[in-house]
Amino acid sequence: MQNSVSRANLQRVLAPKSVAVVGASASPDKAGYQALAALERFGGDIYPVNPKADQILGHKAYASLQAIGKPVDLVILAVPAAACVQAMREAIACKCGGGLIVSGGFAESGEEGAAIQRQLGELCQASGFRLLGPNTAGFVNMNISLSATFVAGREHLTKGNVAVVAQSSGINFTITFLIARYGLGVSCAIGVGNAIDVDVSDILEFLAEDPGTDAIALHLEAIPTGRRLHDTLRKVTPKKPVVAMVVGRQDIGEFAQSHTGNLVGSYELKVNALRQAGAVVVGSTDEVAAAVRVLSLQRMPPKANPGVGVLTGQGGAGLIMLDWLKEANVSVPEFGPATASKISALLPPMTYLKNPVDTARPGPTFPQVLTTIGADKDIDVVIVYALHEPATLLPETFFADVKKAMGKPLLFGTGGPESELRPTIAKMRGDGLFVAESPEKLAQAAIVLVQDSVAQWKLAQPAAPVAIQKAPRTKGGIDEDASKALLNAIGIATPQRFACSTREEALAAFRQLPKPVVAKILTNEIAHKTEAGGVHLKLADEAAFLKAIDALDRIPLKGQRRYLVEAMAAPGLELIVGVLRDASFGPTIMVGMGGTTAEAIKDTATRMGPVTLAEAHEMLNSLRAGALLDGWRGSPKVSRDALATAIVRLSHVLVDQPDIKELEINPLRVYPDGVLALDALIV
């Protein structure tokens, strides 16, 4: 229920003014005690609910939610699974905002728990009451000093501008503590657990409006409502950067099922859908923490291809960083003559000046070199690595000033003995500077800033300049001719063809078409026409043609026998393009190279549909055998534009045509001047 009540209630749950603990207890080993104790710093109203107590932990206790006498924003349900339904009914009756279930014993534990979980979900749906969990360790909202969790160590968390949202509650705190390692606090850290009501998308919507949050870390396992997540992220990422990780590169099905549900869907589609929505996707909790850290400090303006300037005190570190940046396809532009000559005036002649700049041992001109690099118009972010050498370089004394003057992100990386390094790093981090502790982590931070910038640039691009014709509605069981008519209607060419009901029509078609022609059986009774002898190629003369029609007539059919007579397409490179309605992400589009080798290596690219022209080109760029498109060993260079345009047009079909579940063009033959769909299958 996405109405204003449920939205307001979500706000009440995550940023409550009052909290009740149902099942509050005075026994320290009970969850109801720990949940109440965790609220110790919360500044709002606190109501223990326990019919057998007068006072718990210094708070007046109430016999029931009703007895409190006013609607509480957040109700923490510290009662067994079986008691939750009744408690929630009472909370709803009292017009409470929502609840948090910290206990387990729901869908992850078997059929009985699943039944309770379903009931809770239905109660939420019907009432607008918002429920977080079950199967979560809760959340913290440091903006209001709220610990709605009893995870150990919560009392050490500090307030900061990064929010963490995680499907798994354990990973919520794993990431939160990793972030804290950088001396960084969190605004909120929220694990959604089984997410029967409040899910990741809800939390993201809340955080988009949370003034305490500047950057968001996101951990995902299953993504049951991918389309909604994508749409939400697309609205959130232009406001606040989002760094995401998705578990499930490999099939880890059975264990995953036991955890918070199955990891449905392809990892590639999930990652690409998140990227299409402007998120930066990384691979591990460590990388999430480091990436959200750098993005919480600064964001680069959207740009198609930002440039990184690299300054290094050690050549070996420069090599490593350059290697990583190039591997990530990030630009490290060679300096123009103006910048190069300024730098060469500042450094001894032996050093390398073109980008990376290798100063050998850092000297007194280091800050000026830095400023010069930062002033280059092709440079959007500057990274600097230098081993800790306090005798020659004290980065903590000038980095903040240089960065401010530069007006561009300036990231530092260093190494050295921990005892000496710690004060330097602490000072620099205190000044809002990013400090990495290895060359690779420094390069990775720049890559994250660039990826965020490029993603936002892509989101801001105007819609593709491709004319989209709305696909006509079709009815079930359409044959090859009708499929091709649909393709023609949306602007995808097919070979010239005639659908013929009689031999005479077929012969007339043959006479009219350029030779050679192809004769196919036209029916929905046969799935694999070629195997059934239903396709005859290279028919150049009437005798051969009529022989082919004879053969088609021998195929046993129950219904009407028709023929599809087509001009035979010129040879060319073949691809496969298909659209499919995914259970989670809705319309998706796939393009792949044709042929058995490409099929064996799964050389495909998948995106949520519809895609823009730029996204279609990106899909083609990501094909491993994509070089074949550009004229391989003497074959002609085909039109990537025509191919991308066809992808864009096809990607709109499922959006316009709710009846179609799946459409595959196999093969799509590509030429220097266009494309031809040789066969098409619609489900």
Binding residue for its own copies, selected from 252, 338, 426, 463, defined by CB under 8 A: 252
Q: Which of residues 70-109 bind its own copies (CB under 8 A)?
A: 104-105, 108-109
Give me the least distance between CB of 328 and its own copies, in Å please: 9
CB 471 within 8 A of CB 657: yes
Minimum gap (Å) between residue 250 Cβ and its own copies: 4
Q: Using the rule CB under 8 A, is 377 a contact of its own copies? A: no
Stretch that binds its own copies, among 61-69, 139-147, 447-455, 632-640 (CB under 8 A): 632-640
Report the residue from 247, 492, 590, 644 that binds its own copies according to the rule CB under 8 A: 247
Between CA 529 and CA 347 the distance in angstroms is 73
Question: Is 389 a binder of its own copies (CB under 8 A)?
Answer: yes
Q: What length does the chain have?
A: 683
Shortest Cβ 151–its own copies spacing (Å): 7
Q: Which of 211, 337, 364, 417 binds its own copies (CB under 8 A)?
A: 417
Based on the number of CB atoms within 10 Å of its own CB, is 571 exposed (0-12), middle (13-18) or buried (19 or more)?
A: exposed
Of residues 209 and 334, the one with the C-beta less far from its own copies: 334
Distance (Å, rounded) from C-alpha 474 to C-alpha 492?
17
Stretch that binds its own copies, among 226-234, 558-566, 622-630, 659-667 (CB under 8 A): 622-630
Residues 485-514 that bind its own copies (CB under 8 A): none
Residue among 227, 275, 429, 441 that touches its own copies (CB under 8 A): 441
Residue (of 646, 617, 623, 227) closest to 461 by Cα position: 617
Per CB under 8 A, the segment of 56-64, 170-178, 228-236, 651-659 that binds its own copies is 170-178
Contact region for its own copies (CB under 8 A) — 91-99, 387-395, 426-434, 484-492? 387-395
List 437, 525, 656, 679, residue binding its own copies (CB under 8 A): 437
Instruction: Select 227 or 259, whichever has its Cβ closest to its own copies.
Output: 259
What part of residues 555-594 is at the interface with its own copies (CB under 8 A)? 593
Can residue 621 be called a binding residue for its own copies (CB under 8 A)? no
527 sits near its own copies (criterion: CB under 8 A): no
Spell 81-119 as b/e; 16+ CB within 10 A means b.
Answer: beebeebbeebbebebbbbbbbbbbbbbbeeebeebbee
Q: Which of 3, 51, 58, 156 is close enough to bind its own copies by CB under 8 A?
A: 156
Residue from 363, 595, 636, 674 binding its own copies (CB under 8 A): 595
Burial class for 37, CB neighbours closer than 10 Å (0-12, 13-18, 19+): middle
Angstrom distance (rounded) from CA 333 to CA 340: 12
* Per-residue interface string for the shown chain with its own copies, residues 174-193, x marking contact by CB under 8 A: x--xx-xx------------
Among positions 387, 485, 568, 614, the unique one binding its own copies when judged by CB under 8 A: 387
Residue of 481, 647, 497, 659 whose CA lies nearest to 577: 647
Does the footprint of its own copies cover residue 362 (CB under 8 A)?
no
Q: Write the secondary structure of 2-42 as one string of H (helix), E (strand) and C (coil).
A: CCHHHHHHHHHHHCCCEEEEECCCCCCCCHHHHHHHHHHHC
Q: Applying CB under 8 A, what is the total number of residues that bind its own copies?
A: 92
Comparison of 333 and 609: residue with beta carbon closer to its own copies: 333
Q: How far is the CB of 153 from its own copies (least distance, A)?
A: 4
Instruction: Name the pairing type of β-strands 59-60 and 55-56.
Output: antiparallel
Stretch that binds its own copies, among 69-77, 117-125, 385-393, 675-683 (CB under 8 A): 385-393
Q: Does 530 bind its own copies (CB under 8 A)?
A: no
Residue from the set 479, 603, 618, 664 that interacts with its own copies by CB under 8 A: 603
Give the whole-angstrom CA distance, residue 558 versus residue 525. 8
CB-wise, 187 or 312, nearer to its own copies?
A: 312
Kindly identify the residues of this chain, within the stretch 209-228, that bind its own copies according to CB under 8 A. Answer: 219, 221
Per-residue CA distances from 646 to 71, 537, 616, 652 (Å) = 56, 25, 9, 10
Instruction: Write 655-659 long-range contacts (CB < 8 A, 24+).
Output: 655/587, 655/609, 655/610, 656/470, 656/471, 657/471, 657/473, 657/474, 659/473, 659/474, 659/475, 659/476
Residue numbers 635-654 binding its own copies by CB under 8 A: 635
Q: Longest Cα pair distance anywhere in the chain, in angstroms?
A: 101
Q: How many whole angstroms separate alpha carbon 280 and alpha carbon 242?
A: 6
Q: Which stretch binds its own copies (CB under 8 A): 205-213, 575-583, 597-605, 673-681?
A: 597-605
416 makes contact with its own copies (CB under 8 A): yes
Contact between 111 and its own copies per CB under 8 A: no
DSSP codes of every residue in 245-279: EE--SS--HHHHHHHTS---S-HHHHHHHHHHTT-
CB of 626 to its own copies, least distance (A): 8
Q: At what angle do helices 366-375 and 337-346 cross, to 10 degrees?
A: 180
Q: What is the DSSP letter of 92?
A: H
- CA–CA separation, 58 vs 388, rounded Å? 52
Structure-block tokens of residue 606: 């998948």
Contact 10, 198 (CB under 8 A): yes
CA distances from 330 to 64, 283, 307, 322 (A): 60, 18, 7, 9
- Nearest one of 647, 510, 530 to 590, comparing CA atoms: 647
Q: Which of 377, 511, 624, 637 binds its own copies (CB under 8 A)?
A: 624
CA distances from 672 to 203, 448, 630, 642, 663 (A): 48, 37, 9, 9, 25
CB nearer to its own copies: pick between 231 and 679: 679
State which of residues 51, 58, 255, 673 lies at the interface with its own copies (CB under 8 A). Answer: 255
Nearer to its own copies, 567 or 668 (CB): 668
Sheet containing strand 308-312, edge to edge, reads 357-358, 308-312, 381-385, 410-413, 434-436
Q: How far is the CB of 341 from its own copies (least distance, A)?
A: 18
Among 10, 92, 195, 320, the residue binding its own copies under the rule CB under 8 A is: 320
d(CA 533, CA 345) in angstroms, rounded, equals: 78
- Binders of its own copies among residues 257 to 316 (CB under 8 A) are 258-260, 263, 283-286, 313-316
Minimal distance, residue 55 CB to its own copies, in Å: 24
Q: Which is nearer to its own copies, 529 or 652 (CB)?
A: 529
Interface with its own copies (CB under 8 A), residue from 5, 26, 319, 507: 319
CB of 185 to its own copies, least distance (A): 12
Applying CB under 8 A, which of residues 99, 128, 185, 248 lies at the interface with its own copies? 248
Would you tell me how many other CB atoms lie within 10 Å of the CB of residue 167?
25
Between 323 and 641, CB nearer to its own copies: 323
Q: In the numeric block, which tokens belong to residue 222?
A: 């299953």
Is residue 322 part of the contact set for its own copies (CB under 8 A)? yes
**Minimum CB–partner distance for residue 314 and its own copies (Å):** 3
